[in-house]
Amino acid sequence: MRQYLDRYVKPLWQTYSSPGQPLRPTNTRALHTIYGIWLFAFVLKLMGSGWDVAWHFRFLRDDLAPPHMINTVGTIIVIMLVMFHTWTGYGVDRLTLRLMQAGISIFLIAIPLDLINHRLFGLDITSWSPTHALLYLGTAVMLLGVLRGWLLLTPESPIKTVFGIGFWAFLLEDFLFPLGQQEYGVTAIEAMRIGKPYADAELLLEAGANPERFAIPVPDWLYPLWLITSLVLVLVAARLIMRGRWTATLVAGSYLLYRVVSFYILRGMEFPPSFVPIFFIGTALAIDIGITYRINPFVAAFGTLFMFYAGAWISDQITLMPVVPAYTIPVAIILLCTIWVGALWIERSPYVERWRTLV
């Protein structure tokens, strides 16, 4: 044992615990290991946050709830990773490190602010509160740093593609996470309407005389506009940066696979079900086709819009889902045209090569 420690463990410890600066030479195997730990940390955070939404639609109290504990373990691993990068300089350049540091700082600041918010104003079930928004923002900034470091420093390989799609799927989930309020809310309200509520007695008492307003405290237009804007922003960026022909579809499919699997796991644990927006896979396909065949951005925007709203309409005929008002279409087309034109201008601009090296 002593010989093994002296021959293998001690040199590794001395190498990977010594101080250094960003862009310190890091071999491919070490990069795969470091970012594999990042992937594992985000899996834990994903498991905890996904369970937490279902928890809030079943129980009133959540202090030291199991979902929070799982999320906390993931957060602790993230903190340790950021400390490792900061001390050693392995696996990051300077901007990557700053994004990671800024993201975890925002996240850690948001935690006590959220606790104070709960103490001052009571239960905050909505995912749209300012303190919760800081949590999502911190996670998004962290993920941007991780994506930059992974895509910039890792040599081309199938592992690079798989991990890259995974990190993009985590970023998409972070953008779409607040919509769980509406996706769980519609099923919770329907369960109450038929006299079979999922919520316990304490939570029903807290909901009071207007459970609809308690479960979905935001306007109907927010769901489709936030969903389609987030989808197009994240998936267009993923497709342009990674360049794979079906990148957007793979990222969206990975996210939806997680949603379907977690749906059945939580149902098996007798937690409330939620609507799963499978219909937006058509939007992802439209994005891949639009970029692959270099379709005019305005035509691509209208095609993306059609796939989204047609998919939502079909889904609404089949299952219970959040409201997607038709009056949001004009606003959506303005947003999509802006995103498509801006993205393709960047992609075709004379500064594109410098832009790619920065991303």
* pLDDT tens readout for residues 41-90: 999 999 999 999 999 888 876 667 899 899 999 999 999 999 999 999 99
Instruction: Give the lowest-confidence range in 43-57, 83-97, 293-307, 337-351.
Output: 337-351
Query: What is the model's pLDDT at position 138?
Result: 97
At 349 the pLDDT is 64
Average pLDDT, the chain: 90
Residue 229, judged by CB atoms within 10 A of its CB (0-12, 13-18, 19+), counts as middle
Question: If you search the block for the tokens 């939580």, which residue do you land on?
Answer: 266
* Separation in Å, CA 169 to CA 124, 177, 286, 296: 27, 12, 17, 26
Q: With pLDDT > 70 as the criterion, what percentage of the chain qualifies?
A: 90
| pLDDT at 355 (0 to 100) | 46
C-alpha to C-alpha distances, 86 to 4, 106, 191, nearest whole angstrom:
29, 17, 49
The pLDDT of residue 196 is 86
Q: What is the pLDDT of residue 212?
A: 84
What's this model's pTM, rounded to 2 decimal places? 0.94
Residue range 86-114, pLDDT digits in tens: 999 999 999 999 999 999 999 999 989 98
Least confident of 35-39, 100-104, 313-317, 339-343: 339-343
Q: What is the pLDDT of residue 1?
A: 61
Buried b (16+ CB within 10 A) or exposed e, 33-49: ebbeebeebbebbbbbb
Comparing 216 with 332, which gets the higher pLDDT? 332
* pLDDT tens digits, one per residue of 235-250: 999 999 998 999 999 9
pLDDT of residue 10: 60
Top-confidence range, 68-72, 169-173, 344-348: 169-173
**Which residues does 147 contact at the CB level (< 8 Å), separation at least 6?**
164, 167, 168, 171
**10 or 181, greater pLDDT:** 181
Of 284 and 343, more confident: 284
The average pLDDT across 334-356 equals 76
pLDDT at 199: 83
pLDDT at 4 over 60: no
% of the chain beyond a pLDDT of 90: 70
Determine the pLDDT at residue 214. 82
Q: How do residues 196-233 score in pLDDT, each as one tens digit?
A: 888 887 888 877 778 888 888 899 999 999 999 999 99
Give the range with max mean pLDDT: 5-14, 89-98, 338-347. Answer: 89-98
